[in-house]
A = this chain, B = another copy of it.
Amino acid sequence: MNNYCLTLQYEGTRYDGWQKQGNTKNTIQGRLETILTQLCDEPITLIGSGRTDAGAHAAGQKANFHTQKTWQPETLLTEVNRRLPRDIGVVAVSIEKPAFHARFSAKEKTYCYRVWNSTVPNVLSGRYYFQSPAPLDISAMEQAAALFLGEHDFQSFCAARPGKKSTVRTIYAIDIDQKGPKVAIWVRGNGFLYQMVRILCGTLLEVGEGKRPAESMQPLLEAKNRSLAGITLPARGLMLMEVRYDHDEK
């Protein structure tokens, strides 16, 4: 049995997210599984590093699958890309050990949330930005972000979802990068809860707009109450940038 890992990019605008669900066929996972099943002549299940929301994007999603069929990585890359629409693409293929699992083996994920901080529209890359024209106090946002670093219970920053257990996660870094009207919030951690990055960034944006003091992040974490945190920002600004595994450090 071979185990292949795909590095994927997609513009999520016209898809219902990563994960196949009930009668929704228009998912990234669904599109890829159909193609892989055809190419491998057997039913393929593709394991993503995690779900990405409807409308969210990826520059470095990872997903693996097992197959009896043996592929040269470059051949697999070319054949899959030939069958994909332009807004989904395989940018790398690697051969992994049998136990490698794109979700369970993941050690670290990096997301970027992009805000277009201007009254003028972002025409040429607007698909990747949430437009918010109110002036932002970036240093207040950085102060607030610092309070999220480390291990915390992020229940206040998680959309309710039955069946989820621990809401404890570790954030390694949050960097806020401003270049003219482009504000990018980079969040790196060991894993993220449902809509956590969008709620976290929504709350940071409210700090930046002066609607909340930076210090209020501490009691907000302690409250463990979603309704006290900021808004869930739209998926269009969210991009999964990188997923890291132990073997990346070899």
Does A165 lie at the interface of the complex (its beta carbon under 8 Å from any beta carbon of B)? Answer: no
**Chain A interface residues toward B at CB < 8 A:** 9-11, 57, 59, 77-78, 81, 84, 86-92, 119-126, 128
Set B81, B119, B121: member contacting A86, Cβ < 8 A? B121
Chain B residue numbers with a CB within 8 Å of A91 are 120-121, 123
Q: Work out how many copies of this chain go into the complex.
A: 2
Complex contact A89–B11 (CB within 8 A): no
Q: Is the interface of A mostly helix, strand, loop or mixed?
A: mixed
Chain B residue numbers with a CB within 8 Å of A123 are 9-11, 86-89, 91
Complex contact B59–A89 (CB within 8 A): no
For the complex formed, measure the closest distance between the CB of A204 and the CB atoms of chain B, giving whole angstroms. 24
A124-B86 CB under 8 A given contacts A78-B119, A119-B78: no
Set B10, B81, B88, B124: member contacting A11, Cβ < 8 A? B124
Known pairs A86-B126, A125-B125; list 19 more (Cβ under 8 Å): A9-B123, A9-B124, A10-B123, A11-B123, A11-B124, A57-B124, A77-B120, A81-B120, A81-B121, A84-B121, A87-B123, A89-B120, A89-B122, A89-B123, A90-B120, A91-B120, A91-B123, A92-B120, A124-B128
